[in-house]
Amino acid sequence: MQEYFIQLAVQHIYLTYAVIIILACIEGPVLSMMFGILIKLGYFSFLPVYAALMIGDLLGDTFWYYVGRHFGYPFIRRFGKYFSVTEEGVTKVSEVFNKHKYSILFISKISTGFGFALVTLITAGIAKIPFRRYIFTNLLGQFIWSGMLIAVGFFFSQLYLSVNDIFSRMSIIALFVILLFVFTGFRKYIRNRIIV
């Protein structure tokens, strides 16, 4: 079944890249690691996937910037709970944002914000950072972040393919899953310490 979907994606490559862009707007990091694996397996070429993932993630960043810029606190009060964004979180980020806005944007981008990237993106819009500087800073961070995540997927698939016995392969899969959980847990921990 998986083989069928992968072959279908390869046959309809332009539609596939459009879907990658749309999905990357929603969940770029996991998608990047998944495509690192598919690149290693030879189903996709690196550069088109890399570009599609970056475009999708930057479109998502642009959306949240404009939400902050045009709707700001009223949006947060009404819908913030659905995105784990609170007025308190935005206020705390705003306190340090004015002095270090571009550094914060860059670090947030290359770390997926350690759990508060969305707050940072919305705060950038509320602070009315010039859009060109905002998108350029995010582009630099995205260039590094997408490349690193694709490399993680590529590395683990290469490691997986280099061993022959089932126990070693299961160990590699388990290590990959554990690292995903550790990363997710660390993001939640940092978010709870700083934002909540």
Question: pLDDT: is 12 or 144 the higher one?
Answer: 144
Determine the distance from the C-alpha atom of residue 177 to the mean position of all C-alpha atoms in its chain, rounded to a whole number. 17
Question: pLDDT: is 125 or 113 the higher one?
Answer: 125
Q: Are 35 and 150 in contact (CB under 8 A)?
A: yes
Residue 51's pLDDT is what? Answer: 92
Give the separation between CA 132 and CA 75, rounded to whole angstroms: 23
Buried b / exposed e along 70-99 (16+ C-beta atoms within 10 A) = eebeebbeeebeeeebbeebbebbeeebee
Q: Are 64 and 125 in contact (CB under 8 A)?
A: yes
Q: Are 78 and 49 in contact (CB under 8 A)?
A: no
* Amino acid type, 190: I
Tokens 């388990």 locate to: 174
Q: Average of pLDDT values for 134-161?
A: 84
φ/ψ region of 42 (left if φ > 0, alpha if ψ in -120 to 50, else beta) reads left
The model's pLDDT over 3-53, given as tens digits with 9 standing for 90+, comes to: 655 666 566 677 888 888 888 888 777 788 888 888 888 888 889 999 999
- pTM listed for this prediction: 0.73
Residue 195's pLDDT is what? Answer: 46
Phi (first) and psi of residue 71, to 5 degrees: -120, -25
The model's pLDDT over 81-122, given as tens digits with 9 standing for 90+, comes to: 777 777 777 777 777 777 777 777 777 777 664 555 777 888
What does the DSSP 8-state code read for residue 85?
-
Q: How many CB atoms lie within 10 A of CB 121?
A: 25
Mean pLDDT for the chain overall: 77
Residue 59's pLDDT is what? Answer: 92
- Give percent of the chain above pLDDT 90: 7
Give the separation between CA 142 and CA 54, rounded to whole angstroms: 6
Q: How many CB atoms lie within 10 A of CB 5?
A: 9
